[in-house]
Structure 1
Amino acid sequence: MIAEGTRGRRRPVGEITRGTTGHNRLRRSDRWVTAVYGPLLRSAPRPLVVDLGYGASPVTTSEMFARLRRVRPDVEVVGVEIDPIRVAVARAHEREGLSFVLGGFELPVARPPLIVRAFNVLRQYGEAQAWQAWDLLRDRLAPGGVIVEGTCSEIGHRAAWVALDARGPRTLTLSTRLTGFTRPSDLAERLPKTLIHRNVPGERVHAFLRDFDHAWDVAAPYGAYGQRSRWIAAVERLTADWPVATAPPLGGRARWRLGELTIPWDALAPER
């Protein structure tokens, strides 16, 4: 179990991750956050964003900071890492609005964050621990705040993430480079910890991926126009049976053409 203490505790909550990272690894999620939560960033007073568990290099935090500042020029971003050596390295990259602190799921920041991004952090945890980590993070959010928690491949070409608010998980997004997979179910390896072991017959996420593969097969003729056309056709077919988002900012052709799909969490949620 993940032991929780007070905000003033000295020992961060969580475990050190492998720390793998790289340039543009999280570009897909950053692009989604700015599109979906740009209005939230623009309307909030003094928005604070946390990048939790950024890894051995602060590069993805710095990239997120640059992308968010295009949406909200005064946004503050804090990278939170549980490894003190990584924090010491990252502090050389601090500048106005961007800082790095030692910590974990307790989020030792000055005020409740509006957005928390946590990528490739919960892979090493068990499913029950992942649910508990979500609960800890939700308790730290500013009013109206969101968590974007997910995983991606080593170079970011395949990714999946859940958006959560104070009520719990709201959506699941799958995102892939359109030349980076064979079948949609290839993305199953990037499902969040709360779903990845549920990809078995009888679970909703398994049925969804099965139907997505079928829609992909049926859309094969569109491949003559490229993988993007085939992906869009497959997603459109999938909407007949699943509540895939079809309108901005979560859905529609503008999002689908990027190799994305977002679906309400309740459509796939496992029995806890």
Structure 2
Amino acid sequence: MLRAVQARLRPKAPLPGQKLLGPLLVLVAWALVTGVGWVPQDHLPAPSQILGAFSEMLHTGYLQDNLIVSLARAGLGLAYGIVAGVVLALVAGLSRPGDALFDGLIQVKRAIPNLALIPLLIMWLGIGETMKIVIIALGVLVPIYINTHAALQDIDLRYVELAETISLTRTEFLRYIVIPGCTPGFFIGLRLAATHAWTALVVVETINATSGIGYMITQARIYGQMEIVIAGLIVYGVLGFGTDALIRALQKKVLAWRVTMS
């Protein structure tokens, strides 16, 4: 009886392409309302016009050039934020002095929106690439730290006692107890961090940028090119969706040991 209930409650594997159902329904509704004229074309261009804008930008290389710049900014900010978040989480999670020193600072940063830091960072770092990457990294750091730190604190004390009993070295303790214990929390933070990275990118690419998807959208707004504005937003959406899908696939592969042990 218990096994039957567990089988029912066990989450089923999603069907291929299942998560695309929502976006496809929105696309159909979009085509419908623009096709019958319920929404003016200058407010919401038809999907065919967006495809035309994509085709033209791909043909000229305008989209690829700006996309490469955006990917570089987001990638650097994500990398720096992940490294900083993991290191701080390990220091705070594995030592009381580290926890006393860093946890309060991160909690304060958590309460301050990144947008509020932009004027200060502009005065400190200028309006170049460094400021943009730092803003993205700060947005990534917090969810990585919070979730990794929480996972470290939730490690079962029985495993710590077992490590002491069998006299594991510090390296072995990190390898066999700490890393497996905090990895699930890290991946939760990583999914949130990727979202924060793209959100921060949208903002910083509208601040004195001369390239990037945000710059492309800003220029299109100035010249009233609604189809390019929407095309840029679609690119952001695809990047966010694709990044989350990649992280989920990596999480499933890395944490496969949890399934085999359950």
The TM-score with structure 2 as length reference comes to 0.27
Higher strand share: 1
Which structure has more helix as a fraction of its residues? 2
> Quick check: which has more Rg, 1 or 2?
2
Q: Which has the higher contact order (CA 8 A, sep 6+)?
A: 2
